[in-house]
Amino acid sequence: MEPSAPEEIAREPLFVVRNLDKVYGRPGRNSTRVRALDNVSIEVRRGEALGLVGESGSGKTTLGRLLVGFESPTAGSVLFQGRDIAQMRRAELGHFRNMVQMVFQNPFASLNPFRTVRDVLSSGYRRRIRRAELRTQLVEALERVGLHESMLDRYPFQFSGGQRQRIVIARALTVQPSVLIADEPVSALDVSVQAQVLNLFKALQRDLGLTIVMVTHDLRVVNFLCDRVAVLYLGRLVEVGERDEVINSSWHPYTRMLMSAAPNGDPEVRSTRPWVSSELGAAAPPEEGCIFAPRCWLREQLGNPERCLSARPESRELPVEITASPGHVVECHFAEEVPHYARLAEEQLAASDGPALPGMGSLR
C-alpha cells in the first residue's frame, strides 16, 4: 500500500515495531538464554522525541539497537517507513543506515583515539567531494553542535566528555539522518555539562525536525526532552503514553514505583514511596502471569487477585474517557485502579508514619 498524499506520509509512523522478541544465547540451551525483549510493539512517530525508560535489564538498550539495525530480531519485525529492516536489500539498507544514526553512551569509547576530528567526521562522506567543499561541510557540522573549526585537527584525547559527545553527534549528523537513537547520551557526562548536551538534542529536534529516541534510566531527562514515554520492565513494554500522562499520572503500578523511587530533589518534601520493594523479584521474570506481580504493590492492595499470577496481561489501549489523550497503552489487568490505590497508599503511609520502606519489613 503506497501512501497517496504527502500528509499521509507525514502521519505515517517512521518505525513500526511489531511483536518483537529478542533472545540472546543459543537455542536449546535454556540456562544461557536471556529474553531481552518479549513481544514488544510500539510506533515511533515522525519528528517526536520518544523516551525508552527502564532499569538495567529492562531491554531498553536492546530495543534501541534493534531500531538502528545493530541487532536482528529473534521474532517479530521492525518496519522503517513501511519496510522490514530484516528484508532490506543492500542499497536500501545503506539508505536506512544513513537515515538512522546512533549516539552512544560513553563518548570516551565511541571515538577512535588514533583519528582526528576531521578524519572522524569525513568518514560519513561516501562519494569523493572537493577538499574545499568537504571543509565547509565539516565546519558546518561542528558549528551545528557548538564546536569551533579550530578543533578539526585535534585528537579525541584533547577533548572533555561533553565535547566528545558533541563530536559524536556531529559525526552522526554528517549523513543527514532523520532519526537519532541516543543510548544514555548524558549519563557519562559531568552534571554541569549535561545541560549543554540536552539543550543540543532539543534544538536538533526543533530546528532540524529530527526524530529522537532517547534510551535512558533518568526520568528527569525524559521529562525534559521527550514527547512520549515508553516504560520497559524485564523486556516487556508495560506502559506507553504522552509524557505528561506517564510522568504525572501513570496508569501502571511499575511506572508509579519508578517515579517515586527517584529522589524528588527537595529537602523540604520527604519522598513518599509506599511501593518500592526489593530488587529480589528482578532476578527472573515469572513464567506465567504478570511479570511485575512479584514486586507489585497494587496487587497487594487489591488482596492478591488470582489473575495477576495466572494470566499475562494483554497490552491494551485505555479508553479516552479516562486518559487525557488517546493512544495510552498499558499492560496491567487493573490499570484503571492505579490512581485510586496510589492515593490510598500514600494516605496510609502519611497516617501511619511507618517505616520508609514497608516492603522491606518482610525481608527481615
Partner 1 sequence: MPVVFDEAAVDSESLLRVENLSVEFGSGPRAVRAVDDVSFTIGHGEILGLVGESGSGKSTLCLALMRIVPAPGVVKSGRVVFDGRDLGVLSVRQMREIRGNELALIVQDALATMNPVTRIEEQIVEILRDHAGKGTVDRKNFRERALRALRSVHLPNAELNLRRYPHQLSGGMQQRVAIAQGLILEPKLIIADEPTTALDVTVQAQILSLLREVRDTSGTSIVFVTHDLATVAEICDRVMVMYAGRIVESGTVREVFKNPEHPYTKALLSGLLPLVGEPPEELDALPGQPPRPEDWPSGCRFHPRCPVYVRLGKPDVCRETDPNVDETQSHWAACHFANQEV
Partner 2 sequence: MDVPQGGVRAITIRAIVNNKRALLGTILVAAVLLFTLVGVFWTPYNPISFGGGKSFLSPSWLHPAGTDIYGRDIFSRIMAGGQTSLSIAGVAVAVAATMGSIIGVVSGFIGGIVDVIVSRVVDLMLAIPALVFALGIVALLGPSAQSVTVALSVVYMWQFARVIRSIVISVRNKTYVEASRGLGVSPIAIIVKDIFPSVVPILVVQITTALAWGILDEANLGFLGLGVQPPSPSWGSLLIEGREYLFDTPWLSLGAGTMVLITVLGVNLLGDGLRDIIDPRSAEK
- Does position 137 interact with partner 2 (CB under 8 A)? The reply is no
356/177 Cα distance (integer angstroms): 47
Closest approach, Cβ 111 to partner 1, in A, equals: 16
8 A C-beta contact, residue 153 and residue 117 = yes
Q: Which three cell numbers stand for residue 223?
A: 521529562
Q: Which of 245, 262, 260, 264 is nearest to 335 (CA)?
A: 245
- Does position 112 interact with partner 2 (CB under 8 A)? The reply is yes
Supply the DSSP symbol for 318: P
Instruction: Quote the Cα angle for 342-345-349, to 5°.
Output: 140
By the 10 Å C-beta count (0-12 exposed, 13-18 middle, 19+ buried), 154 is classed as middle
Stretch that binds partner 2, among 77-85, 119-127, 227-235, 245-253 (CB under 8 A): 119-127
Closest approach, Cβ 205 to partner 1, in A, equals: 12
- Does position 143 interact with partner 2 (CB under 8 A)? The reply is no
Residues 152-181 that bind partner 2 (CB under 8 A): 153-155, 157-158, 168, 171-172, 174-175
Place of cell 497517496: 4
- Does position 341 interact with partner 2 (CB under 8 A)? The reply is no
Binding site for partner 1 (CB under 8 A): 55-56, 160-163, 190-196, 198-199, 202, 217, 219-221, 223-225, 247-248, 257-268, 270-271, 273, 276, 278-280, 282-283, 353, 356-357, 360, 363-364
Closest approach, Cβ 277 to partner 1, in A, equals: 8
Toward partner 2, which CB reaches closer, 19 or 158? 158
123 binding partner (options partner 2, partner 1, none; Cβ < 5 to 8 Å by kind): partner 2
Residues 6 or more apart in contact with residue 52 via CB below 8 angstroms: 60, 63, 64, 213, 214, 215, 216, 230, 232
- Does position 25 interact with partner 2 (CB under 8 A)? The reply is no
109 binding partner (options partner 1, partner 2, none; Cβ < 5 to 8 Å by kind): partner 2
Helix (H, G, I), strand (E, B) or coil at 240: strand
According to DSSP, the residues that pair with 84 across neighbouring strands are 79
Q: Which of 358, 160, 192 is nearest to 274 (CA)?
A: 358
Please report, as ranges, the residues that interact with partner 2 according to CB under 8 A: 68, 70, 94, 97-98, 101-102, 104, 106, 109-116, 119, 123-124, 126, 153-155, 157-158, 168, 171-172, 174-175
